[in-house]
Structure 1
């Protein structure tokens, strides 16, 4: 039996989004987060379809009208009605693998990042969509607590993650490092796990998801956040993470090509002043393009240049994510890619 965890740059059927509701934590920011999501839909549908989970038929009708006004091709998106708790599709969406040449969607347990937030409806969301016959691939439930933002892969058997998240006792308290690695090997087909011991972002609820810190751009390249301000609270930990990345080796023993991403000026919540987790590592790879979070900062342009270098042949598209970090995530956290063959062909014929 052969197993393979798809890298994000594998050809995709669609990007999955979960739209916020007026009764969620987004209520005070609803207009702003919807504007961000609309910009994402407009950008993504230039390249591929979007599967959007909405709260009810009323929200579906409203979004249909809004997308029509924005000029979004109706054949490029599908609105599916299903209950949800929040918008973070990266962590409640399915994780795709290939098993003996057949695509499967693995449905992991989601507990709201270790029980911090209500997550029962989000945890059931993938199964709800499967019951609506939206997926062509089989959906396979897993007992492990695992979020998509906690892992990143080169598509060749190597997984990158953080000890602070995957070994946190608030996730799988009965499993040590060896047990976690064994389950990742059995379920995702990974042969190596690279553990980062350092790195965090103030204001992050995820216990250091790797997609906020360091990401594969191709099997040989890792883009990572670098804090060059010695007075910043993140400086010591992120410089230690940089040294860890420099010491990592590919399976053939060669070092990785490392691309440091710039450090934006601190972003603070306007209500109570706490630090917000602005990071350029939370980019999204789609067919033919890369969407990059921006924060109205001078470093935005430098981040776009780095990722343009990392992804030759793809368009690099900025998305203003100042509203997104108000709820302690960013662009990648809002999305889950669905590899080619995931979706029922009737959703997007042709």
Structure 2
């Protein structure tokens, strides 16, 4: 069973940016943003920082409480898609290491694809290599057998072209111990490189509740697609007795006339808390209030992520949670 992200965790993994990544255009801003993210995480739990140079990266922090460092040079910082996923299988915790091909071969990914295998000795549980292309941001679990994904990503021929939908569905059920795979056929964000990862659009916040992004502005380019996605989610609600909570669409954020994929669905669960990306726009306050209302038992912390979306990702994209039973060796 793919462990739900709202369940108890041991630590969060982050890959710190270096100058040979695409972040070279704004490396100082990127590092400052990652420091803020790591500092927010370690208020709740340990953060494992994968970094190109431990001695250098340690200097970005006044103290190292709840931070552990491991040295590895990756292609990029998208830990959600390059890290192993935590599952329960046969009564034990296990990590699954899928193939990462940079969202269908869009970028160099050799080092990212090797990362989990190299880091395997640092994790306290068994890791299994899976001959299947999949990114963590492409799947959402309610922890009780429902997997939420998008057909645009999961069924895209730039991933696993030798398999049809039925075969992919069966493989997902086997890998994740799932009862059903719920495919969302609509919804997207301008500027997104992932072919519509589900973690930019709709997320489980409990076993029976989905939080999703909606667009109420008929003049926004996302209006029609997100309305169709909302209608699909409502069908899931009826069929599986789920509940829906609507998040606002962020005001458009641009970089060199390109709209960036700012989304409040890219939040991060931590123990007793939830970190919510903000973008210095008017909807930030509304989004934070919705999270506080929806999750009164968690501390809600806004983390400014305007720099992250300049490279087409956000808070959830640059982090990976590990199950509570997994420790760092």
Query: Do the two structures share a fold, i.e. TM-score over 0.5?
Result: yes
The answer on whether the counterparts of 1:202 and 1:277 sit within 8 Å (CA) in structure 2 is: yes
Residue number among 154, 166, 170 corresponding to 2:158 in the alignment: 170
2:240, 2:20 → 1: CA distance?
50
TM-score normalised by L of structure 2: 0.98
4+ aligned runs moved over 4 Å, structure 1:
none
CA positional deviation for 1:75: 4.1
Residue number among 313, 325, 328 corresponding to 1:341 in the alignment: 325
Write the deviation string for residues 301-347 of structure 1: whole angstroms up to 9, x where unpaired: 11111111222210000011100000000000000001112223x5x
The answer on whether the counterparts of 2:42 and 2:65 sit within 8 Å (CA) in structure 1 is: no
The answer on whether the counterparts of 1:292 and 1:304 sit within 8 Å (CA) in structure 2 is: yes
Residue number among 94, 97, 113 corresponding to 2:87 in the alignment: 97
Q: Which residue of 2 aligns with 1:79?
A: 69
CA positional deviation for 1:65: 2.1
Matched, 1:325 2:309: yes
Matched, 1:119 2:109: yes
33-42 or 292-301, which deviates more? 33-42
254-263 or 95-104, which deviates more? 254-263
Aligned-partner SS, 1:338: strand
Matched, 1:36 2:33: yes
Equivalent residues in 2 for 1:46-65, closer than 5 Å: 46-56=43-53, 60-65=54-59
CA positional deviation for 1:245: 0.7
Unaligned runs of 5+ in 2: none
2:124, 2:65 → 1: CA distance?
18
Q: Which residue of 2 aligns with 1:299?
A: 283
Matched, 1:217 2:201: no
Write the deviation string for residues 221-241 of structure 1: whole angstroms up to 9, x where unpaired: 111000111001110000111
Please, what is the CA RMSD of the aligned residues?
1.1
CA positional deviation for 1:83: 2.0
Count of matched residue positions in the alignment of Structure 1 and Structure 2: 329
Aligned-partner SS, 1:32: helix
Aligned-partner SS, 2:225: helix
2:131, 2:65 → 1: CA distance?
36
TM-score normalised by L of structure 1: 0.92
175-184 or 158-167, which deviates more? 175-184
Q: Which residue of 2 aligns with 1:134?
A: 122
The answer on whether the counterparts of 1:16 and 1:89 sit within 8 Å (CA) in structure 2 is: yes
Residue number among 247, 252, 258 corresponding to 1:261 in the alignment: 247
Residues 260 and 341 of structure 1: CA distance in aligned 2, closer, same or farther (over 3 Å) = same
Q: Which residue of 2 aligns with 1:180?
A: 168
CA positional deviation for 1:187: 1.1
Unaligned runs of 5+ in 1: none
